[in-house]
């Protein structure tokens, strides 16, 4: 389950921010997770509770915002929604699609005290 290591990295980023910005409690974390990122939101939520126990983020609310997959069809020069990697363009059938969004995960916002 790679979500466990992802949550550990998120916690490290939060702890680094706490030292830099001088806050002592995290109330909520908003994570953007791309639809094409291979990250399972439910697994992230489960791991978040386990990893943050007894930390600055213990008891924090995790809000997950899923961002859609987006691609650019090189053959017909159109932007198109993607629900999975390596799918064909619905307009021209080409598989020459560059993924332009929906593969990343990032901390969008923190609510702290």
Structural domains of the chain, ranges and CATH numbers in brackets: 2-112 (3.30.2320.80)
pLDDT of residue 91: 95
Distances in whole angstroms, Cα of residue 67 to Cα of each of 3, 55, 107: 17, 28, 13
Tens-binned pLDDT, residue by residue, of the chain (113 aa): 599 999 999 999 999 999 999 999 999 999 999 999 999 999 999 999 999 999 999 999 999 999 999 999 999 999 999 999 998 999 999 999 999 999 999 999 999 99
Is the Cα dihedral 44, 50, 56, 58 positive or negative?
positive
Of the candidates 6, 8, 111, 13, the one whose C-alpha atom is nearest the C-alpha of residue 51 is: 8
Whole-prediction pTM: 0.88
């Amino acid at each position: 389950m790679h979500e466990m290591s992802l949550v550990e990295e998120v916690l490290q980023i939060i702890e680094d921010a706490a030292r830099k910005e001088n806050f002592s409690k995290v109330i909520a974390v908003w994570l953007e997770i791309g639809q094409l990122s291979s990250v399972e939101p439910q697994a992230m939520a489960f791991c978040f509770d386990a990893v943050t126990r007894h930390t600055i983020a213990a008891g924090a609310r995790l809000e997950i915002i899923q961002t859609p997959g987006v691609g650019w069809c090189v053959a017909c020069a159109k932007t198109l929604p993607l629900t999975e990697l390596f799918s064909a363009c619905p307009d021209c059938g080409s598989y020459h699609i560059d993924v332009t969004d929906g593969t990343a995960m990032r901390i969008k916002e923190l609510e702290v005290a």
